[in-house]
């Protein structure tokens, strides 16, 4: 689909020797400018409980700071008027610069808006700031597509930006509500993050192994095919919330009947039911993708392998599996992203993880705590999505792209 | 070439009502007869004081659940199909890669996280869950609208233009009817996922069929969880079979033409 527009574009460029303006980037940056000057960027609350009052960009950064940001964004739009490759590179630099400047903007806002006699004051991040972040990410995607970069580079750039933010947050951003919330429970946060990663890692690896085995069995025994997919589809209709809950009682009963299991850590609440539910959910996308991946391998290629004298095991490991790998990895990507979200719900049955903060925060109406749980989950999902997507892209053999 | 016109005019094939009726009547039985099933649920929780969820009637919960999903689905169809149409027109072409990326980004955001982020922005209640469902369900609709519209043969469009149709007429009476089966499949995926996901709304104060499940988890009452899960599953099966029926009908009228 991009091929058509590209051909059109080059044809037009060739005919009248000028560049078609990139309306996408122009729309994005002009829209962002309008939002930044009309929506609150930060809010200041005297303490944790009282809701804050909002401040606009020019109040938060001072007029020079606001003008600097606006000029940078306007430059983004101006460069998009006559897009050439080096202009896109310049835009990439501007986007990175804006992303890197964000925590420093918060520092300036803290210094300007918080009076020294308010030690409890908290700087909240509001609409304008999030819009800036979101539009910058969109612009990054657009520039990446125009420069035809692999997904890996923006991901690396974002990792660098995140590292800078992290450093700023640890050393200077004491007033920001999110940082205060983190500092109040950093050990708890690290444990939750670790639990979350363990839940996702274990359930995805289990479902990769089980999924591969199931898909192979379904290919071998065609009667299993219908039954297997019917069963897996049925599991998907049970809401995740219910599946977690439904495992509570049977596992508690099992643990009370079989002491060995109880000693291994199986109980009604906690990791065991969470893992079972996560694996049950992960199996459908995993099996479906593995099945199609193995099925889509070109018959002629396999026949050629047979003709070359390969035994069937060789044919599987050296031809079918490598050729199926990109689609298979795609399945792992979908499964992993889904598992990151579902593991959040597992907090409701005491499995820990980042969902703990979300549900505790919702219960206490402490929105910064909700953010402390939700933001890392989003980042985690995006990171896994980008890295596995890049891996699948890389593994695709020549000629199949 | 004539498929589009014929497809619209051809006699509608009889609808296959069997499965939707089976699931819908099971759903109705379950929802209305839940108070009478006490003996059955006693088996799950012999010691509990109460085994049937009574804080709200299941019919009310079902209605709320269904309306949340319906609002999200309608908004998703409007936004998704309009976006798909906009970026396949000549003027909007430049936005296509971004819209496709954006839609797949929407699927990456876990609904719980969207829900959690929506609450600080718009408060507790029904709206955050509608927003989360909308965002989560948008991808299948946008993706299928795009592939449906892009899949329409360029020659068919040229022929329609040559017959004197305006671009608007081409869109309404050629492109959309031809893309309809694929768009419908996207809507089906989106709605089926969202029926199960909507239960999460119960965690942010949107009362729906997730309520008995949450109450069951908190009070350690499996019977409540089973009731919520069974009704949601039956609802998902009913809606899914309705979509299946519509798709079958589209397919038969297409092949008859």
Q: What is the pLDDT of residues A311-328, one digit of tens each?
A: 888 888 888 888 888 888
Assess contact for B45 and B222: CB atoms under 8 A: yes
Q: What integer is the mean pLDDT of B27-50?
A: 80
| pLDDT winner (highest mean) among A168-182, A245-259, A382-396, B145-159 | B145-159
Query: How many Å apart are CA A20 and CA A22, to the nearest integer?
Result: 6
Q: What integer is the mean pLDDT of B92-119?
A: 81
Is residue A48 predicted with pLDDT exceeding 50?
Answer: yes
Q: Is B57 on the interface with A (CB under 8 A)?
A: no
Query: Which of A246, A341, A371 shows the shortest C-beta gap to B229?
Result: A246
Q: What integer is the mean pLDDT of A177-184?
A: 81
A63 pLDDT band, cuts 50/70/90, is confident
pLDDT score recorded for residue B6 = 44
B249 pLDDT band, cuts 50/70/90, is confident
Is residue A9 predicted with pLDDT exceeding 70?
Answer: no
- List strand residue ranges (DSSP E) for A126-197, in order: none
Q: Is A242 on the interface with B (CB under 8 A)?
A: yes
pLDDT score recorded for residue B2 = 42
Is residue A264 predicted with pLDDT exceeding 80?
Answer: no
pLDDT score recorded for residue B4 = 45
A44: enclosing H helix or E strand: strand A42-45
pLDDT score recorded for residue A400 = 52
More confident residue, B213 or B104: B213
Taken in order A85, A90, A93, A99, the sign of the CA dihedral is negative
A198 pLDDT band, cuts 50/70/90, is very high
Q: Closest-CA residue in chain B for A365?
A: B120
Query: How many Å apart are CA B181 and CA B242, to the nearest integer?
Result: 14
A267 pLDDT band, cuts 50/70/90, is low
Instruction: Answer yes or no: do A248 and B220 touch at CB < 8 A.
Output: yes
Number of domains in chain B: 1
Query: How many Å apart are CA A372 and CA A358, to the nearest integer?
Result: 8
A2 pLDDT band, cuts 50/70/90, is very low
Half-sphere exposure of B73 (CA within 13 A, CB side): 21
Q: What is the pLDDT of residues A152-173, one digit of tens each?
A: 777 788 888 888 888 888 777 7
Q: What is the pLDDT of residues A226-245, one digit of tens each?
A: 888 888 887 877 778 888 87
Half-sphere exposure of A83 (CA within 13 A, CB side): 22
Shortest alpha-carbon distance between residue B195 and chain A (Å):
8
Lowest mean pLDDT among A46-55, A124-133, A342-351, A385-394: A46-55
**B174 within some domain:** yes
Is residue A204 predicted with pLDDT exceeding 90?
Answer: yes
Assess contact for A237 and B196: CB atoms under 8 A: yes
Query: How many Å apart are CA B118 and CA B131, to the nearest integer?
Result: 7
Q: What is the pLDDT of residues A361-377, one digit of tens each?
A: 888 877 788 888 888 89
Half-sphere exposure of A19 (CA within 13 A, CB side): 12
**B5 within some domain:** no
**B43 within some domain:** no
- List strand residue ranges (DSSP E) for chain B, in order: none
Lowest mean pLDDT among A9-18, A109-118, A277-286, A298-307: A9-18
Q: How many A-B residue pairs are in contact by the CB < 8 A criterion? A: 145
Query: Which of B93, B120, B220 shows the shortest C-beta gap to A371?
Result: B120
Query: How many Å apart are CA A333 and CA A391, to the nearest integer?
Result: 10
Q: Domains along chain A?
A: 2-179 (no CATH), 186-395 (1.10.3720.10)
CB atoms closer than 10 angstroms to residue A249: 20
Q: Which residues pair with A53 in a beta bridge?
A: A44
Interface of B with A in 188-227 (CB under 8 A): 192, 196-197, 199-200, 202-204, 210, 213-214, 216-217, 220, 222, 225-226
The CATH number given to whatever domain includes residue B161 is: 1.10.3720.10
Is residue A332 predicted with pLDDT exceeding 90?
Answer: yes
**B190 within some domain:** yes
Average pLDDT, chain A: 82
Q: What is the pLDDT of residues B141-173, one digit of tens each?
A: 998 999 899 888 889 889 998 999 988 899 988
Of the candidates A48, A62, A61, A37, the one whose C-alpha atom is nearest the C-alpha of residue A175 is A48
**B126 within some domain:** yes
- The three-class DSSP label of residue A53 is strand
pLDDT score recorded for residue B254 = 67
pLDDT score recorded for residue A18 = 55
Q: What integer is the mean pLDDT of A78-101?
A: 85
| Domain range enclosing B169 | 56-208
Alpha carbon A28 to its chain's center: 22
Instruction: Answer yes or no: do A344 and B107 touch at CB < 8 A.
Output: no
pLDDT score recorded for residue B7 = 45
Query: Which of A142, A242, A373 shows the shortest C-beta gap to B116?
Result: A373
Is residue A26 predicted with pLDDT exceeding 50?
Answer: yes
**B135 within some domain:** yes
Per the structure block, which two tokens stand in for B169? 């007429």
Q: What integer is the mean pLDDT of A107-129?
A: 79
Is residue A251 predicted with pLDDT exceeding 50?
Answer: yes
pLDDT score recorded for residue A14 = 43
Q: What is the pLDDT of residues B186-226, one digit of tens each?
A: 999 899 888 988 988 888 878 888 899 888 888 888 888 88
DSSP A123: E
- The three-class DSSP label of residue B206 is coil
Assess contact for A22 and A83: CB atoms under 8 A: yes
Q: What is the pLDDT of residues B40-86, one digit of tens each?
A: 777 777 777 777 887 888 889 999 999 999 999 999 999 999 999 99
Q: Which residues pair with A43 in a beta bridge?
A: A54, A124
pLDDT score recorded for residue B1 = 41
**B141 within some domain:** yes
Q: What integer is the mean pLDDT of B246-252?
A: 84
Residues with Cβ within 8 Å of B42's Cβ and at least 6 positions away in sequence, in order, are B51
**B160 within some domain:** yes
Interface of A with B in 350-389 (CB under 8 A): 355, 358-359, 361-362, 367, 370-371, 373-374, 377-378, 381-382, 385
Is residue A13 predicted with pLDDT exceeding 50?
Answer: no
């Amino acid at each position: 689909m991009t091929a058509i527009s590209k051909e059109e574009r080059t044809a037009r460029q060739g005919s009248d020797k000028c560049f078609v303006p990139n309306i996408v980037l122009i729309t994005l940056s002009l829209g962002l400018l309008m939002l930044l000057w009309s929506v609150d960027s930060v809010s200041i609350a005297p303490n944790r409980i009282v809701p804050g009052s909002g401040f606009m960009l020019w109040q938060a950064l001072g007029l020079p700071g606001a003008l600097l940001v606006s000029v940078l964004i306007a430059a983004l739009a101006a460069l998009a008027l006559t897009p050439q490759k080096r202009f896109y590179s310049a835009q990439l630099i501007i986007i990175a610069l804006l992303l890197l400047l964000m925590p420093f903007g918060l520092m300036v806002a803290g210094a300007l808006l918080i009076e020294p006699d308010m030690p409890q004051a908290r700087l909240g991040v509001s609409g304008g700031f999030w819009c800036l972040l979101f539009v910058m990410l969109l612009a990054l995607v657009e520039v990446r597509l125009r420069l035809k970069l692999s997904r890996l580079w923006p991901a690396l750039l974002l990792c660098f930006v995140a590292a800078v933010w992290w450093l700023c947050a640890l050393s200077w951003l004491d007033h920001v509500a999110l940082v205060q919330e983190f500092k109040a429970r950093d050990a708890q946060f690290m444990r939750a993050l670790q639990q979350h990663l363990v839940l996702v890692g274990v359930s995805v690896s289990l479902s990769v192994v089980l999924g591969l085995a199931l898909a192979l069995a379904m290919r071998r025994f065609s009667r299993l095919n219908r039954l297997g997919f019917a069963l897996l589809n049925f599991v998907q209709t049970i809401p995740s919330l219910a599946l977690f809950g439904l495992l509570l009682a049977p596992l508690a009963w099992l643990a009370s009947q079989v002491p060995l299991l109880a000693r291994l850590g199986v109980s009604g609440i906690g990791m065991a039911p969470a893992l079972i539910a996560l694996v049950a959910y992960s199996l459908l996308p995993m099996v479906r993708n593995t099945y199609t991946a193995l099925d889509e391998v070109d018959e002629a290629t396999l026949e050629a392998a047979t003709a070359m004298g390969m035994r069937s095991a060789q044919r599987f490991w050296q031809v079918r599996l490598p050729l199926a790998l990109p689609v298979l990895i795609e399945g792992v990507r979908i499964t992993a992203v889904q598992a990151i979200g579902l593991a959040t719900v597992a907090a409701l049955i005491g499995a820990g993880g980042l969902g703990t903060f979300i549900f505790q925060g919702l219960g206490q109406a402490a929105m910064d705590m909700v953010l402390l749980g939700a933001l890392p989950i989003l980042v985690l999902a995006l990171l896994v999505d980008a890295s596995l997507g890049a891996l699948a892209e890389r593994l695709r053999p020549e000629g199949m792209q | 070439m004539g498929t589009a016109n014929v497809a619209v005019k051809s006699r509608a094939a009889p609808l296959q009502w069997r499965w939707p009726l089976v699931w819908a009547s099971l759903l109705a039985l379950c929802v209305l007869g839940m108070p009478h099933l006490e003996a059955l649920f006693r088996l799950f929780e012999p010691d509990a004081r109460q085994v049937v969820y009574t804080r709200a009637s299941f019919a009310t919960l079902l209605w709320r659940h269904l309306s949340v999903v319906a609002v999200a689905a309608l908004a998703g169809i409007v936004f998704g199909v309009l976006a798909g149409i906009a970026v396949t027109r000549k003027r909007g072409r430049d936005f296509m890669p971004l819209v496709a990326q954006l839609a797949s980004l929407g699927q990456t955001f876990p609904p719980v996280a969207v829900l959690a982020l929506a609450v600080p922005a718009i408060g507790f209640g029904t709206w955050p869950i509608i927003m989360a469902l909308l965002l989560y369900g948008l991808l299948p609709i946008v993706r299928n609208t795009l592939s449906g519209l892009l899949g329409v043969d360029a020659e068919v469009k040229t022929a329609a233009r040559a017959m004197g149709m305006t671009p608007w007429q081409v869109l309404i009476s050629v492109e959309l009817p031809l893309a309809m089966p694929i768009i419908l499949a996207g809507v089906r995926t989106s709605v089926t996922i969202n029926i199960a996901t909507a239960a999460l709304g119960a965690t942010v104060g949107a009362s729906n069929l997730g309520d008995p499940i949450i109450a069951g988890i908190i009070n350690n009452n499996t019977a409540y969880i089973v009731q919520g899960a069974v009704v949601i599953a039956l609802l998902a099966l009913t809606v899914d079979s309705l979509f299946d029926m519509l798709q079958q009908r589209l397919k038969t009228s297409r092949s008859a033409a």
